[in-house]
């Protein structure tokens, strides 16, 4: 076996080279950004679990808000359809009830006495049901016209004019029923 013999000078030179290399490596590592340490922390199982829990709860919360808003919109749409159907039924019944009357007062009593299609509105008069529609659809021209028609009927314009007004209201609500059922 041959042992490699190095002189003391060569050993000292090698030791100095290795010391120099070590110093260079250390200075290079110190000058590197610390993102390796940050990445290690962010990549730890606990931090990943916490971040995923936060993200998942955020997504769940957004979906729940979206679903609640969609459900409320659907419920409002159904309520609007029920109101329009009820008002339409009241108007058609008032038109039928108006025929036998010849007196002037009959116009008001027939529209107020006409029952709607749903029990929800049984204790409400025509105007209060129309106002509920106006609350659900603010700024709607059809609702404004219906309220105007009702107010004119309240002035007791006579049977013929009441028939005209009821026909106009019926036509308005018929258009609304076709639009809302789509």
Cα–Cα distance measured from residue 30 to residue 27, given in angstroms and rounded to the nearest whole number: 5
Sign of CA dihedral 107, 113, 118, 124: positive
| Domains contained in the chain, number | 2
Answer with the residue of higher pLDDT: 115 or 149.
149
pLDDT tens digit sequence for 6-63: 888 888 998 999 999 998 888 887 766 666 677 778 888 998 999 999 999 999 999 9
pLDDT of residue 62: 96
What percentage of the chain exceeds 90 in pLDDT?
20
The reply to whether 154 and 86 lie within a common domain is yes
What average pLDDT does the chain have?
81
pLDDT of 104 reads 46
Q: Do 26 and 116 fall into the same domain? A: no
- Residue 2 placed within a domain: no
Domain-located, residue 87: yes
Q: Which residues constitute the domain of residue 45?
A: 10-56
Is residue 23 located within the same domain as residue 82?
no
Per the CB < 8 A criterion, the answer to whether 111 and 150 are in contact is yes
pTM here is 0.61
Residues 99-128 have pLDDT tens digits of 665 554 455 555 666 777 788 888 888 778
């Amino acid at each position: 076996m041959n042992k490699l013999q190095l002189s003391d000078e060569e050993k000292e030179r090698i030791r100095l080279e290795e010391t120099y290399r070590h110093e260079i490596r250390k200075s290079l590592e110190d000058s590197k950004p610390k993102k390796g340490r940050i990445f290690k922390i962010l990549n730890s199982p606990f931090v990943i679990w916490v971040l995923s829990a936060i993200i998942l709860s955020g997504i769940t919360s957004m979906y729940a808000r979206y679903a609640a808003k969609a459900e409320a919109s659907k419920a409002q749409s159904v309520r609007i359809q029920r109101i329009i159907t009820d008002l339409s039924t009241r108007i058609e019944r008032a038109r039928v009830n108006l025929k036998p009357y010849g007196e002037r007062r009959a116009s008001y009593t027939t529209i107020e006495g006409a029952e709607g299609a749903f029990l929800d509105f049984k204790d409400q008069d025509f105007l209060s049901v129309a106002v509920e529609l106006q609350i659900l659809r603010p700024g709607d021209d059809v609702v404004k016209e219906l309220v105007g028609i009702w107010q004119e009927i309240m002035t007791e314009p006579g049977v013929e004019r009441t028939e005209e007004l009821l026909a106009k209201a019926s036509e308005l609500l018929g258009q609304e029923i076709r639009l809302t059922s789509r």
